[in-house]
């Protein structure tokens, strides 16, 4: 498979969601942000309603509204994918159909979150994807959770999922580097036309070099040009170029992730950083997240200025 010519490979941006101070969705700000991302050469798609976009804090009707606005703003240039998070098959199907109706090209299907507590059988995990595929008939990106959770899929389960016609790629978030290459090779042998996209912002270059067809990452919604540079260089086998680009990304990643995995407060710092440099309408987060304390905002400002960014807010 040539990643450069595959419709579900390359760089996909997991996007933020702007809110007014009263926590209502800032539609004007969302349009401007999505148009900006879609205009970046090398961005293949925008993914709204992911964890970066605070899906867990949005009502179902708001998730559909975010998708509608995104499709209207960016759908002529890039793919529009909407996150779907439902605790049961019926709920997930309803969300997928709502996204499809307002213009989504596909969905990012998260596992039901009660699995994080109780686990599930392989039949349930595979059946969930079969249910949503049959009930909505929309392209599906599998959202693989970290292996340390009870919701992460085994290789055997993913090998069954890629047999489902609507499954078009996997967002691989295993975060177990000992498994990464083996899983990639086995999946590519079984389904060579189903791309594997890394979502390991903190292991980006390592996963791209070990075996990958692209990236679906929050950092592509933060610094899209830099992410395109890193990902394309790595996928083209240009290690020198990829390392050079990554050096520009590393200090930003430390500001946002603090050497850890993506998290709710990491998305908060990302939103704050884009707002500080004048590239996002506000740093307001939806409850239950509380706003960053002034001391944290000033710390982010100082770090940004230290690496050459001009803060406008």
| Alpha-carbon dihedral angle through residues 156, 162, 165, 166, given to the nearest 10 degrees | 110
Give this prediction's pTM.
0.96
Q: Give the Cα separation of 156 and 186 in Å (integer).
A: 10
Q: Give the Cα separation of 192 and 27 in Å (integer).
A: 39
Q: Which residues of the chain fall below pLDDT 70? A: 259-264
Radius of gyration of the chain (CA): 18
- Residue 234 falls within a domain, yes or no? yes
- Residue 280 falls within a domain, yes or no? no
- Residue 105 falls within a domain, yes or no? yes
Instruction: Give backbone dihedrals phi and psi of 110, rounded to 5 degrees, phi first.
Output: -85, 155
- Total count of domains within the chain: 1
Instruction: Give backbone dihedrals phi and psi of 82, rounded to 5 degrees, phi first.
Output: -110, 135
**Residue 86 belongs to domain spanning:** 3-247
Which three-class secondary structure string do you get for the chain?
CCHHHCCCCEEEEECCCCECCCCCECHHHHHHHHHHHHCCCCEEEEEECCCCCCHHHCCHHHHHHHHHHHHHHHCCCCEEEEEECCCCHHHHHHHHHHHHHCCCCEEEECCCCCHHHHCCCHHHHHHHHHHHHHHHCCCEEEEECCCCCCCCCCHHHHHHHCCCCCEEEEEECCCCHHHHHHHHHHHHHHCCCCCEEECCHHHHHHHHHHCCCEEEEHHHHCCHHHHHHHHHHHHCCCHHHHHHHHHHHHHHHHHHHCCCCCCHHHHHHHHHHHHHCCCCCCCCCCCCCCCCCHHHHHHHHHHHHHCCCCCCC
- Residue 273 falls within a domain, yes or no? no
What is residue 30's predicted lDDT score, i.e. its pLDDT? 98
- Residue 259 falls within a domain, yes or no? no
What is residue 261's predicted lDDT score, i.e. its pLDDT? 61
Omega cis (within 30) before 288: yes
- Residue 253 falls within a domain, yes or no? no
- Residue 148 falls within a domain, yes or no? yes
- Residue 252 falls within a domain, yes or no? no
**Contact status, residue 23 vs residue 274, Cβ threshold 8 Å:** no
Q: Give the Cα separation of 289 and 306 in Å (integer).
A: 28
Kindly report the CATH number assigned to the domain that includes residue 118: 3.20.20.70
pLDDT in tens, 78-127: 999 999 999 999 999 999 999 999 999 999 999 999 999 999 999 999 99
């Amino acid at each position: 498979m040539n990643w450069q010519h595959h419709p579900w490979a390359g760089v996909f941006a997991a996007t933020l969601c702007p809110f007014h101070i009263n926590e209502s969705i800032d539609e004007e700000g969302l349009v401007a942000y999505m148009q900006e991302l879609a205009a970046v050469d090398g961005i293949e798609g925008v993914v709204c309603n992911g964890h970066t976009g605070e899906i867990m804090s949005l009502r179902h009707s708001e998730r559909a509204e975010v998708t509608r606005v995104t499709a209207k703003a960016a759908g002529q240039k890039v793919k529009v994918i909407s996150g779907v998070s439902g605790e049961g098959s019926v709920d997930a199907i309803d969300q997928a159909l709502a996204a499809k109706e307002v213009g989504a090209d596909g969905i990012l299907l998260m596992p039901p979150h009660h699995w994080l507590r109780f686990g599930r059988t392989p039949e349930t995990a595979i059946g969930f994807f079969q249910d949503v595929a049959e009930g909505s008939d929309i392209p599906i990106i599998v959202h693989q959770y970290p292996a340390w959770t009870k919701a992460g899929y085994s290789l055997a389960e993913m090998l069954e999922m890629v047999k489902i016609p609507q499954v078009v790629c996997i967002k691989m978030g295993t975060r177990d580097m000992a498994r990464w290459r083996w899983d990639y090779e086995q999946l590519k042998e079984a389904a060579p036309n189903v791309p594997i996209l890394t979502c390991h912002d903190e292991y980006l270059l390592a996963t791209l070099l070990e075996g990958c067809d692209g990236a679906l990452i929050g950092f592509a919604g933060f610094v899209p040009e830099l992410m395109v540079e890193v990902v394309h260089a790595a996928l083209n086998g240009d290690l020198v170029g990829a390392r050079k680009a990554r050096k520009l990304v590393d200090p930003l990643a430390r500001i946002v992730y603090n050497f850890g995995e993506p998290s709710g407060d990491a998305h908060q710092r990302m939103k704050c950083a884009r707002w500080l440099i004048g590239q996002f309408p506000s740093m307001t987060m939806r409850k239950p997240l509380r706003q960053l304390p002034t001391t944290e905002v000033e710390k982010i400002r100082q770090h940004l200025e230290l690496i050459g960014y001009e803060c406008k807010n």
